Amino acid sequence: MKLSIGIVGLPNVGKSTLFNALLKKQVANVANYPFCTIEPNVGIIEVPDERLPVLAKIVNTTKIVPAVVEFYDIAGLVKGASTGAGLGNKFLSHIREVAAIVHVVRLFEDANVAHVSDKINPTDDLQTIENELILADLETLEKVKSQKSKVLPAGRQGKIESEKLKVETAEILSESLNKGIPVRNNNLTDEQKEIIKTLNLLTIKPVIYVFNVSEEQLQNKDETEEKIKEILNSVGNKNFCSLHLCAKMEAEIVAFSPEEQKEYLKQFDLMESGLNRLIKKSYEILGLISFLTAGSLEARAWTIVKETLAPQAAGTIHTDFEKGFIKADVIPYQKFVDAGGWTKAREQGMVSTVGKDYVMKDGEVVEFKVNA
């Protein structure tokens, strides 16, 4: 499975508008009717990183290469999708292909933009999507549970125990799902998580709830945030990850210069755009971090999963680097900046030399030493 994010929600909640804003150009078709998106649009989105221009200036390079996240704009879902309504199984199969979900919920009121159920009820809308994903997972788990009585050949004790654990886990999860509790909210053991990984369940995927608001709701920050909190609490979401933005406004301000954007956003008491906040949250929810390299050729952010060891991090630059890994020089970003580059950082004893068992940390500036 790719480390990608799927943008989902009911038709006409602003998914494609948001996707277009992310791409900073018109890619997805935006229309005032359901299912104007059939196949998912795919976009490679740069992760905003204020550290890279600073590093580039220190090492005197003009080439900056940020980390990226892959976004999918997936077709709108309707009630009954788990049984084939709307785009049904096609929609669900597209969600299975992504590692995490951005669930767009409509909060804005606009008589010119049709709603699939002819009324704005964000609680019902959010629950509709949740229910369809739950129903799809229940169907998957029923297939596993049906194997309970299957007799395996003698001499395959390990396989028997594995299948037994899978069935037991499926039964536990089915019970939770029938109570409206998604798989991600179950306290599964590492062994249980591993045994159901191949099922690619939909409700195990991490979710960011993005509430699409009007500019007026954006200005009424406290009131809007309180309303969002009530919605999420009412559907039983705990430890949720959410944010709100105005997709229409975000799509308009991408044409502004960075300075103009900052000035415009001040009236909403915002330090950065909703898009930047979403991209950063998406990167984090995938469990990703970046290490940095800074040399005369480029300043670059390299994407790794948390808890990655130094040799595997080196392998993201080139596979031969992992095989030939000897050691790595690492320094926290801020210390590198304070020192003014590698030479002075080494002179001041700020650089650590680490080996194969070193766990990489976000934002470290790194130089790898490898066998040629």
Please give the annotated binding residues for ATP, written as ranges. Answer: 12-17
Q: What angle do CA 330, 336, 337 make, to 5 degrees?
A: 160
- Single-letter residue type at 41: N
Looking up tokens 């009412």 gives 234
CB contact at 8 A, 285 and 100: yes
Binding residues: 12-17
Please return the burial class of 205, using the count of CB atoms within 10 Å of its CB with bins 0-12, 13-18 and 19+: buried
Report the alpha-carbon distance of residue 79 to residue 91 in Å, rounded: 12
- The H-assigned helical ranges of the chain are 15-23, 51-59, 88-96, 122-145, 157-178, 190-195, 215-219, 221-234, 247-253, 258-266, 274-285, 310-317, 319-323, 333-339, 342-347
Residues in the chain: 372
Q: Cα(first)–Cα(last) distance of the chain, in Å?
A: 32
CB-based contacts of 106: which residues, under 8 Å, 6+ apart?
Answer: 9, 10, 12, 13, 14, 115, 120, 122, 125, 212
Looking up tokens 């989105």 gives 45
263 φ/ψ angles, rounded to the nearest 5 degrees? -65, -40
Report the alpha-carbon distance of residue 229 to residue 219 in Å, rounded: 17
CB contact at 8 A, 123 and 232: no
- The CA distances from residue 110 to 26, 114, 119, 204, 262, in Å, are 22, 8, 10, 33, 27
